[in-house]
Amino acid sequence: MRRKKTATLLITCQDRKGLVAGISEFLFGHNANILHADQHQDGTLFLMRIEWDLEGFSLPVSEFARHFEPIARKFGMQWRISDSDSKKRMAIFVSRYDHCLVDLLYRHKSGELDCEIPLIIGNHPDTESIASFYGIPFHFVAVSPENKQEAESRQQDLLKRNGIDFVVLARYMQVLSADFVSKYKDRIINIHHSFLPAFHGAKPYHRAFERGVKLIGATAHYVTEILDEGPIIEQDVIRVSHRDAIEELIQKGRDLEKIVLSRAIRWHLENRVLVCGNKTVVFD
């Protein structure tokens, strides 16, 4: 079945009377057939996602900004528009653990993740064969305390040359610098192997095992300058018991990591996520 060509508008501004009417009237005035519309108020903040069919829409997407700007200025909106024909370009960073990488590449190949993956960057060469199997260029960039700035400079150059829109840390076991993060604000997605804010930082499975928890989790979040404190996109948990050895607990957790990370990426690709302070609003 042929997929509809759609456009999606994301809006954040202070809540005021007439907002929804103004947006709807603008779209109706250009013959838009609205497919989905959702909104949320967080205190005095108004957040909205609206998606419409581009068939019959009288305004080219390239001209949208010029015509919409008077309304956006009137209501003090922060906004962005995306159309379904414009695929986002995703880079994957990985270390030695390959379970999230393999899962993402399979989901991409099967069409579940509608994006382009121009490159994979690893700080170890272990996963190069996996990238080769899926026909994606792999770049080995070793990172150490002595060369961290140089390594990040090379990584950023690769991202720029490949026109990357956002980065996924698929169990990439390096902390990115504040400079790196600032260049991709709300565009770096990390998977952390615990139910944040519990057991942030290193070796969360081992600490959970030592604590004797009955639930373990995984958290996908946007990366900020503060480790494991970024806005959370998705989380999930699975039950464990005293019978689980640390190896079994880790295996259960890795299965969960793959699911949580893929959900977060899919929602990001579908323009369903708006950052609201240190939280997110995820429109379903």
Residue 69: other Cβ atoms inside 10 A? 12
Sign of CA dihedral 203, 223, 15, 263: negative
**CB under 8 Å to 244, separation ≥6 — which residues?**
209, 252
Active-site residue 53, yes or no?
no
Cα separation, 46 vs 268, in Å, equals 19
Q: Which residues pair with 45 in a beta bridge?
A: 14, 42
**DSSP tag of 23:** H
Angle at 168 between CA 165 and CA 172, to 5 degrees: 140
Is the CB of residue 253 less than 8 Å from the CB of residue 218?
Answer: yes
From 114, 157, 228, 284, active-site residue: 228
3-class secondary structure per residue, 186-247: CCEEEEECCCCCCCCCCCHHHHHHHHCCCEEEEEEEECCCCCCCCCEEEEEEEECCCCCCHH
Q: Which residues are catalytic, by number?
A: 228
